[in-house]
Amino acid sequence: MKLQVLIIRKDVLLLRNWIFGTLQTLNQKMNAKLHDGVCQRCKEVLEWRVKYSKYKALSKPKKCVKCLQKTVKDSYHIMCRPCACELEVCAKCGKREDVVIPFNKEPEKTENVENNSRSSNRRSCRRNEENDDDLDFDIDLDDTEEDN
């Protein structure tokens, strides 16, 4: 009987990990995370971890097993993105298998950086429009040159 209660409770936590919890924003980020550069099995493992709230984000970069630099920024991965792309292997298990979703060539951007760039871009456009309104294009420059 206690076993059934635990299973029911686990299902409730499974369905509502994005609603409840002390770290709601972290849960939303975990649910939205795209697991790229890994094989099918590793992708399923990572999705299971997210689904059952077992996924833990990486706090600081880990050391890559190939280049020995602290460049691994994804949780549960053993290789950095450039090494995994170069060797064409899974970044999590290191096996040469078909990568389900290949790495993006563009560097990752956080939402905050994008929002800041959009708002600053809007402000600069507004300033440019205001400056254009101040300019007077009715002046004839040819007349001033002839007087000299």
pLDDT truncated to tens, each residue of the chain (148 aa)?
Answer: 454 444 555 555 555 555 555 556 767 777 777 888 999 999 999 999 988 888 888 899 999 999 999 999 999 999 999 999 999 999 999 999 888 888 875 444 444 444 555 555 666 656 655 555 555 555 555 655 555 5
Report yes or no on 145 lying in a domain.
no
Which pair of tokens denotes residue 106?
A: 């563009």
Residue 53's pLDDT is 82
Separation between Cα atoms, residue 83 and residue 80, nearest integer Å: 6
Amino acid, res. 72: V
Residue 31's pLDDT is 76
Instruction: Give the number of other CB atoms < 10 A from CB of residue 38.
Output: 25
How many domains is the chain partitioned into structurally? 1
Report yes or no on 141 lying in a domain.
no
Report yes or no on 119 lying in a domain.
no
Say whether 113 sits in a helix, a strand or coil: helix
Report yes or no on 27 lying in a domain.
yes
Domain containing 51 equals 7-104
Geometric angle at alpha carbon 31, from 26 and 37, rounded to 5°: 110
Report yes or no on 126 lying in a domain.
no
Long-range contacts of 69-75 (CB under 8 A, 24+ apart): 74/37
- CA-closest candidate to residue 28, choices 36, 16, 39: 16
Whether the CB-CB separation of 95 and 41 falls below 8 Å is answered with no
- The partner residues of 62 in beta bridges, in order of sequence, read 72
Whether the CB-CB separation of 90 and 37 falls below 8 Å is answered with yes
